[in-house]
Structure 1
Amino acid sequence: MWSVDPAKHSPIEDVQGIVTGSIVSALGFYILNKVGLLTGGTAGVAFLIHYAFGISFGLLFFLVNLPFYYLSFRRLGLAFSVKTFISIGLVSVLTELESRWMVIDSVNPLWAAILGGLLLGYGLLALYRHRASLGGIGILAIYMQDRFGIRAGLIQLAFDTCVMIAAFAVIEPKTVLYSIVGAFFLNMFLAINHRSDRYIVVR
């Protein structure tokens, strides 16, 4: 039932890690969405389209990640791809259901940015440690690094920068700045708490 190898997880441990990570991540997205903030990666793209056209964030988050599953399978294997697909599906559904289960009347945007970023950090950390992720640009970045020698971190940074720049056309500048604060807390949390020599890192 429980793995005796600290570097590996049993199926039950994977289930609880993926479900827990998805729940915490969905809560982070819900808080960001409540005050009109966004984050980087494919979630940022989903947020932009959601704010611009009013389409469901959960549906957009699921659809935006679809093109990356082939690269995930080629680069990171079937098990990782299946776990990531399940994680994204859970987060997509939960972000739509949370507004029915919980109502936040008011929250300070700066606090929402910090709290949302940290919750996403906790959620992603749980997923990373069970060989899963929330898909997206990180997969493409690893592929581009292998194919063209461009550092994956630079590709991720460039994409997230483009998302934040595009956000100025959709939301208020102050809201974009709050979103950058949230992204900073998210990435700093992962940088401090995640060991890339032990776990697969893809965001």
Structure 2
Amino acid sequence: MSDTPEADTEAEVVPHKWYEDVQALILGTLLLSFGVILYSEAMLITGGVAGTSLLVEFGTSLTFGPVFFVLNLPFFALSILRMGWGFTLRTFASVALVSAQTRLLPLWVDFSFLAPAFAAVAGAAMMGVGLVVLLRHRAGIGGVTILSQFLQDRGIIRAGLFQLIVDLIILVIALFMLPLKLVALSIVGAFVLNLTVAINHRPGRYRGMS
């Protein structure tokens, strides 16, 4: 492999084939879904629309999958405006797959015992890796990330600050619904998830694109 700048520039962009995108959507959403199942079984929360959907599941008779899908619907219009049709369609497919898989996985996997601490770390790591897989194929799981970028583009509020506010609101609500120990483990999980994404999804480290 050449060390010249010209060679590095030529190697920067390696377009994904359509079947590579399909494989990534299936694998990424499967990891995300299994992480969500661990959180659901252990009654832990995460941020964004997924965390909101878990709180709805814990507080009502509704299940995560349908709630997650419906809550994401309003954000797809913003996604089209900001991210384009390609990203939006892949994200819609990701949301639909996560919604379906979180409904089906409990039919195939049963836990006789699940330590909440293990669920917090392992579930967060799975969700983080799944998200990295999706991001590298220009897909996401919709929701607050899209809205935060839209608001930042309009000069209303910084994206990171808006996401932090949303996650803090979810955390405060969780304090009234869940034991303090589970909320604390959820915070640990949030750290693991974000660390996983930060380490494995850095600009310049991956040259594929869709």
Aligned counterpart for 1:184 among listed residues 179, 182, 191:
191
Worse-matched range after superposition: 151-160 or 116-125: 151-160
Partner residue, 1:95: 102
Q: Distance in 2 between matches of 1:197 and 1:63?
A: 35
Aligned to 1:77: 84
Question: Equivalent residue of 1:39, what SS?
Answer: coil
Alpha-carbon separation, structure 2, partners of 1:181 and 1:159: 17
Contact 1:7–1:198, Cα closer than 8 Å, also in 2? no
1:45 aligns with 2:52: yes
Q: 1:67, 1:150 → 2: CA distance?
A: 19
Identity of aligned residues (%): 41
Detail structure 1 runs of 4+ shifted over 4 Å in the superposition. Answer: 196-199
1:135 equivalenced with 2:142 (yes/no): yes
- 2:133 — aligned with what? 126
Deviation, 1:197, is 5.9
Opposite residue 144 of structure 1, the aligned amino acid is: L
**Partners of 1:10 and 1:77 in 2: how far apart?**
19
What is residue 155 of structure 1 aligned with on the other side?
162
Give 1:66's aligned residue: 73
Matched, 1:23 2:30: yes
The structure that has the greater radius of gyration is 2
Change in Cα spacing, 1:115 to 1:69, as seen in structure 2 (3 Å) is same
Distance in structure 2 (CA, Å) of the matches to 1:162 and 1:190: 22
Distance 2:85 2:26 in 1: 19
Q: 1:140 Cα shift?
A: 0.5
| Alpha-carbon shift at residue 54 of structure 1 (Å) | 2.2
SS of equivalent to 1:134: coil
Count of residues in Structure 1 that have an aligned counterpart in Structure 2:
196
TM-score relative to the length of structure 2: 0.89
Q: Secondary structure at the match of 2:139?
A: coil
Structure 1 gaps of 5+ residues are: none
Aligned to 1:11: 18
- 1:65-117 deviation digits (Å, cap 9, x = unpaired): 11100000100000100100000100111011111111111111111100000
What's the Cα RMSD here?
1.5
Whether contact under 8 Å (1:42, 1:61) holds in the other structure is: yes
Counterpart position of 2:174: 167
Paired AA for residue 40 in structure 2: N
Cα distance in structure 1, aligned partners of 2:205 and 2:148 = 19
Report deviation, 1:154. 1.2
Q: Deviations over 1:26-77 (max 9, x none)?
A: 0000111111111001001101111011201111111111110000010000
Partner amino acid, structure 2, of 1:190: V
Question: Where does residue 55 of structure 1 map in the other structure?
Answer: 62
